[in-house]
Copies of this chain bind each other. A is one copy, B any other.
Amino acid sequence: MKNTAILLISCPDQRGLVATIAEFLYRHNANILHADQHQDAELKLFLMRVEWDLADFQLDLDAFSQHFAPIAERFEMDWRLALSGNRPKLAIFVSRYDHCLADLLYRHQAGELHCDIPLIVSNHTDTRWLAEAHNIPFQHIAIHKDAKAEAEKDQLALLRHEHVDFIVLARYMQVLSPEFIRHYPNRIINIHHSFLPAFHGAKPYHRAFERGVKLIGATSHYVTEVLDDGPIIEQDVARISHRDQIGDLIQKGADLEKIVLSRAVRWHIESRILLYANKTVVFD
C-alpha cells in the first residue's frame, strides 16, 4: 500500500477554490491519486477529499499546517489532514449479540480494516472468547442501573489509556450519556435496524413481522445526543416475504447489520466521510 496523505476540506463555496488547492499541491509536487468534491447548491457549501502519494511530496508534513494556513483562512476552511500511515485506534463496544463484533474482527484479521483495535468493551462476558481468539484485549465493565455514570467513567479511562480515536457500537445495547458522546464527537459509529414504516420501542422485528413489511433495513450513523438521529453513513435493505418467520427476519437483519456497519467503519477509517448539516458525504 502506498503512503498517502488525505486532505478533507469543507468551506463556503466560491470561485478559485479548486484552482488554489490544486496549485498548492502541484507547487509541492504532490502526485494526486484521488480527488473528489461535492457542492451543496442550496447551502452554498464546498466539500473536497484529495489524496496524494507522499513519495515525491516536497513539503514536510509537520510544516503542512503552517503552509496551508493562509489558504485555509482565506477560504474559511474547516479542514484536516489524514495520513494512510497512521492506523487509527478503534474500540469496539458490544453487549450480547456478537454478529457485528465477529464480522469486524474477521475483517480486521483479513486486512480489510486498516486500523488497530486495542480494546473491546462489553457489559457482558459472552463475547470474551471471540476477543481472545483474535488476540484483542477484552474489558468487562458491568452496567449497574444506578451506577451508569461510574461505568462510563471507567470506559473513558480505558479509552484514554489506549489513545482510542473512534468507537464502534457493535450492537451495544446501552444508551450513552451526552457527556460521554461529547468526548468523541462524530467519532462514535452505531448500527441499528430500520423499517418502512419505522417502528419505535421494543421488539421492532416482532412489530415489523406483525405489520407484514416486505423489506427490512439497517442504518449505520454517527452518534449524536439525539438518539438514533445522527448523520446517516450507510443503509441497506433485504427482502422479506410471508414465508419468513420472526427468526428469519432477525437473521436477515443480522446479516444486513454486519454488512452496513462494516462499510461505515471502513469509510471512516479511510477518511471518506465528510459531515455537514447533520448529514454525510461519502467519497467512495
A147 within 8 A of B: no
| A244 CB, nearest partner CB in chain B, Å | 8
Per-residue interface assignment for chain A, residues 195 to 209, with 1 indicating a CB less than 8 Å from any chain B CB and 0 otherwise: 111100000000000
Task: Report copies per complex.
Answer: 4
**Bound CA span A16–B25, Å:** 9
A235 to B217, CA, bound (A): 12
* A281 neighbours in B (Cβ, 8 Å): 242
* Stretch of A68-76, A116-124, A163-171, A272-280 contacting B (4+ beta carbons < 8 Å): A272-280
CB atoms of B37 and A35 under 8 A apart: yes
Q: Are A212 and B197 in contact (CB under 8 A)?
A: no
Contacting chain B: which of A4-12, A26-34, A154-162, A183-191?
A: A26-34
Instruction: Check: A60 CB closer than 8 A to any chain B CB.
Output: no
CB of A232 within 8 A of chain B? yes
- CB pair A33 B26 closer than 8 Å: no
Q: Is A253 on the interface with B (CB-CB < 8 A)? A: no
A257 within 8 A of B: no
The segment out of A81-89, A98-106, A137-145, A173-181 that lies at the interface is A98-106
